[in-house]
Amino acid sequence: MKAIFVCTHGNAAKELIHSAEMICGIQENTSFVSFDEGESAENLQTKIIAEVGKLDLAGGILFLTDLKGGTPFNVLVRLLANYRQTELVTGVNIPLLLEVFLGRETFTLAELAKQATDTGKLGIYQYVTPVEEIEEDF
């Protein structure tokens, strides 16, 4: 089973995983690290290495983060070379995480990263109230 690792600013990683698990059940071989206010990139890197070390990486690891160019992303980019099979996707959200959890045994690591990216984008939607509904309210 592919390892899933989420790293975000603040507690978002923990809460995203918790929310996704409410929908699809508790996930094995999954972990996270939070980047806390005032924390150094070096300390974050140390935390990531320690937490990833607890995962089974035989099937590879998919790293998910919140923001391209942010400290979690930058630290993960530097660490990718330390692991054999890796993918990194930014913009983590609940639909993306659900897709990853449900597809990690079906797809190759590269396919899983692509599915995650596609699903994450599709999970963003702007609801526009139809004009008829607006006019009826007045």
Number of domains in the chain: 1
Which run of H or E residues covers position 74?
Answer: helix 71-79
Prediction pTM value: 0.92
Which domain CATH number covers 76? 3.40.50.510
Count Cβ neighbours within 10 Å for each residue of 6-31 and write b for 16 or more, e otherwise: bbbbeebbeebbeebeeeeeebebbb
Check residue 134 and give its pLDDT. 66
DSSP, res 107: S
pLDDT tens per residue across all 138 residues of the chain: 999 999 999 999 999 999 999 999 999 999 999 999 999 999 999 999 999 999 999 999 999 999 999 999 999 999 999 999 999 999 999 999 999 999 999 999 999 999 999 999 999 999 998 877 666 655
In a domain, 134, yes or no: no
Domain housing 42: 3-123
In a domain, 135, yes or no: no
Residue 12's nearest CA partner among 89, 65, 70 is 65
In a domain, 131, yes or no: no
